[in-house]
Structure 1
Amino acid sequence: MHPHLHTKDNKNCEEVMNALEECHARGFLWKSMGMCTKAKHQVNMCLRVERLERTRQNREVAKEKRAKVESVWAEIDANS
């Protein structure tokens, strides 16, 4: 796997990533015959779930920041 996939954000997918690495270690013919397709799909789905969770968390943080900025602007408008 690529080093950036083994970050703290993807620790929940480590097991399926290791299974894909083991499958790829069996050799080129094993991969080229499509024997690793299921493992690859599982990795993709796991990483997708992780990405969607990070997106949700980032959206919540952005909403909080936006609300704070709007309240500051409302206070500035009220005092001017």
Structure 2
Amino acid sequence: MHPQLSEHKTPQCAELIQRLHACHQDKPVGKYFGRCNSVKSDLTLCLRKERQARTKTNRENARAKRAQVEKIWTDYEKNN
């Protein structure tokens, strides 16, 4: 299961999103029998890569912010 597909939120996967929507429109009944599974699998992999990159960036930012807070607390404790 993938999240709500928005091309503006995941521009690197926009082509795959369009291909999946086109497949669903071209094969309205076939989508229930696996006709679009290959496109959906490719989209899932693309979304996973995007999520992993976003997670890595957020983790790095959180660590940097945490280090900054620790430094502020250390400085505060030294002065008081």
TM-score when normalising by structure 2: 0.88
* DSSP-derived class of the 2:68 partner: helix
List, as ranges, runs of 4+ consecutive aligned residues in structure 1 with deviation greater than 6 Å.
Answer: none
* DSSP-derived class of the 1:28 partner: coil
> 1:40-79 alignment to 2 at 5 Å?
40-79=40-79
Cα distance per residue 1:19-57 (max 9 Å; x no partner): 111100113222122110011111111000000000000
How far apart are the structure 1 equivalents of 2:32 and 2:77? 65
Instruction: Tell me the percent identity.
Output: 36
**Residue segments in structure 1 that go unaligned for 5+ positions in a row:** none
Higher helix share: 1
* DSSP-derived class of the 2:29 partner: helix
Corresponding residue of 1:13: 13
The aligned length equals: 78
TM-score when normalising by structure 1: 0.88
**Residue segments in structure 2 that go unaligned for 5+ positions in a row:** none
* DSSP-derived class of the 1:5 partner: coil
How far apart are the structure 1 equivalents of 2:58 and 2:45? 20
